[in-house]
Structure 1
């Protein structure tokens, strides 16, 4: 069964919800624990672990994605991503976006908006897609 690709707005809303529901409490908690809001390593670590591990253990979803009815899946078998897939998606793609000074991220944005399959650079690197689910 071919799944319907998730478009820009559903992906955007999922990210916004993750930021509000998870990111804000993590920001407050990490500031309390470290006593600093500048260069907060704990916040970066917790955010990274959330975006890396939750999709692995929760069928390709983060909290925001679950609310929006979208998930990450492997293109090859439409199964949920594993830890290796998510490392490629987050670390390697993050490296690519960093060495291109954000230009790769902007290109990815256009790819999600204009490509029929709605896949971004990080999706191609990891062999994933973001799709709607019922």
Structure 2
């Protein structure tokens, strides 16, 4: 594991991703005149978020839009790219752990990222991942992702 991304840069990426998803959902609500109290809109928001956080890193070398802007990406502990199973563990199972502990595990994760040398959170341990500032490599050279 090399060049781990710390607390503040990861937080920046998360905030940027939240703004992007909120913007897409807000624009959809406005354009299609959707009832925001409807269960369909809330379910759609959840599905969009899950798809975004699970699929985008798989398709884009561990980046989400927010992480790309912040200059960090998710990789497996052995520095290989993430898979569908890895991202399901990281995002969905990690999210369940945070929810089942009423957010206490989330606070512990934030402290872990701030204090640990490897900057890994609970969801990173669950999925066998970490967040790095290193760019992906293509055929032995740095990629232009």
TM-score (norm 2): 0.84
Residue of 41, 65, 73 corresponding to 1:63: 65
What residue number does 1:117 align with? 118
Aligned residues: 132
Deviation of the 1:44 alpha carbon:
1.1
What residue number does 1:42 align with? 44
- Bigger Cα Rg: 2
TM-score (norm 1): 0.90
Distance 1:69 1:34 in 2: 36
Distance 1:104 1:34 in 2: 37
Question: Where does structure 1 differ by over 6 angstroms across 4 or more consecutive aligned residues?
Answer: none
Deviation of the 1:95 alpha carbon:
1.0
In structure 2, list runs of 5 or more residues that go unmatched. 136-145
Distance 2:126 2:118 in 1: 15
Distance 1:127 1:61 in 2: 16
Evaluate the alpha carbon distance shift between residue 74 and residue 59 of structure 1 in structure 2; reply closer, same or farther with a 3 A threshold: same
What residue number does 1:13 align with? 12
CA deviations 1:59-117 (Å, max 9, x no partner) are 00000111111000000x20111000000001111111111111000100100011111
In structure 1, list runs of 5 or more residues that go unmatched. none
What residue number does 2:84 align with? 83
What residue number does 1:24 align with? 23
Deviation of the 1:32 alpha carbon:
4.8
Distance 2:47 2:33 in 1: 13
